[in-house]
Amino acid sequence: MEIEYLLRIFISSVFVNNVILSRFLGLCSFIAISKEIKPAVAMSFAVLFVITMSSLITWGIFRFLLAPFHIEYLRTISFILVIATFVQLVEMVIRKFAPALYRFFGIYLPLITVNCAVLGVAVLNSEMFFQNGKPISGSFVYSLFQGICVGLGYLVAMVLMSSIRHRLELADVPKAFQGPAIGFIIAAILSMAFLGFSGFRI
C-alpha cells in the first residue's frame, strides 16, 4: 500500500475517469436531479455513502465467496443483490432513527439501488485490485478509497451541472431546447471539457 497509489486513485476517479462525465455511468440521476443545487448535493452525499459502503461489502463478497469458488461470472448478479439489500437496510434504519432525513432523501435513496455508478465501482474494484482471483496487497483499502473518490467525482459533476442549470433558469433558452434538451447539451460540453484530463499520465 502506497500513498502515491492512493493519490493516483483520487485524481483518476475524481477527474480523469469521472464516473459521470468520462465513464457515462449514472446519467439518469445526473439529468433528473440537477435542476437545483441543494437536492443535487443531497443526492451526491447519498450516493457517496452508498458507493463507499457497497464497495466495502462487495469486496468481501468477491474475496471470500466468488474468487475462492471461481464463480467470478456471477459477479454482476450478486453485486446487484448486495447493493439492493444494503440500500433497503439503510432506508429502514434512516426511517426509524431519522424520519426528517428520510423525508429529505425521499425518492433518491431507492433510486440509488438501480444507479449503475454503484455497480460500476464494485465491478471496477474487482477488476483493478484482484489478479487471477487473488487480491493484490492493500486491495481492501484501495477498494474503499476508490469508492469514496468515485462518490466525490459524482459530487463534483453534480455541483457543476446544477450550478450551470441554476443560472440557465434566467437565460433566454430557445423554446425547442428548453428543459432536458439543454441539459443534455450542457452535459455533452462538460464531458468534452473533462476529456481534457485524459492526457494526464497517472
Partner 1 sequence: MEIIISILSLSLLGITFGVTLAFFARIFHVKVDERLEKIHSLLPGANCGACGAAGCFGFAEKIVSGETLIDNCRVASDDTKEAIAKILGRSLKKTDKLVARLHCCGGKNAKDKFVYHGINDCSIAHLVLGGFKQCPVGCLGLGSCLKVCPFGALSMSSDNLPVVDIIKCKACNKCVETCPRKLFSLKPLAKTVWVACCLHYSGKDTRAVCQTGCIACKLCQKSCPTAAINIIDNLAVIDYTKCTSCGACVKICPSKCILQTKQNNSKSQENIQ
- Which residues contact partner 1 by CB under 8 A? 61, 65-66, 69, 71, 73-74, 77-78, 81-82, 85, 88-89, 92-93, 95-96, 99, 103, 170, 172
Cell of 2: 502506497
Least separation in angstroms between CB 93 and partner 1:
6
CA-wise closest residue to 156 among 15, 31, 8, 9? 15
Least separation in angstroms between CB 186 and partner 1:
19
Nearer of residues 4 and 73 to partner 1, judged by Cβ: 73
Rounded to whole angstroms, the Cα distance separating 168 from 151 reads 26
Distances (CA, A) of 65 to 10, 61, 79, 128, 132: 28, 5, 12, 18, 14
Nearer of residues 85 and 198 to partner 1, judged by Cβ: 85
Least separation in angstroms between CB 195 and partner 1:
32
Least separation in angstroms between CB 78 and partner 1:
6
Nearer of residues 81 and 185 to partner 1, judged by Cβ: 81
Least separation in angstroms between CB 108 and partner 1:
16
DSSP state of 66: I
Cell of 80: 446487484
- How many Cα atoms occupy the beta-carbon half-sphere of 195 within 13 Å? 7
CB distance 11 to 193 below 8 Å? no
Nearer of residues 96 and 201 to partner 1, judged by Cβ: 96
DSSP state of 15: I
Nearer of residues 61 and 187 to partner 1, judged by Cβ: 61
- Angle made by CA atoms 110, 113, 118, in degrees to the nearest 5: 140
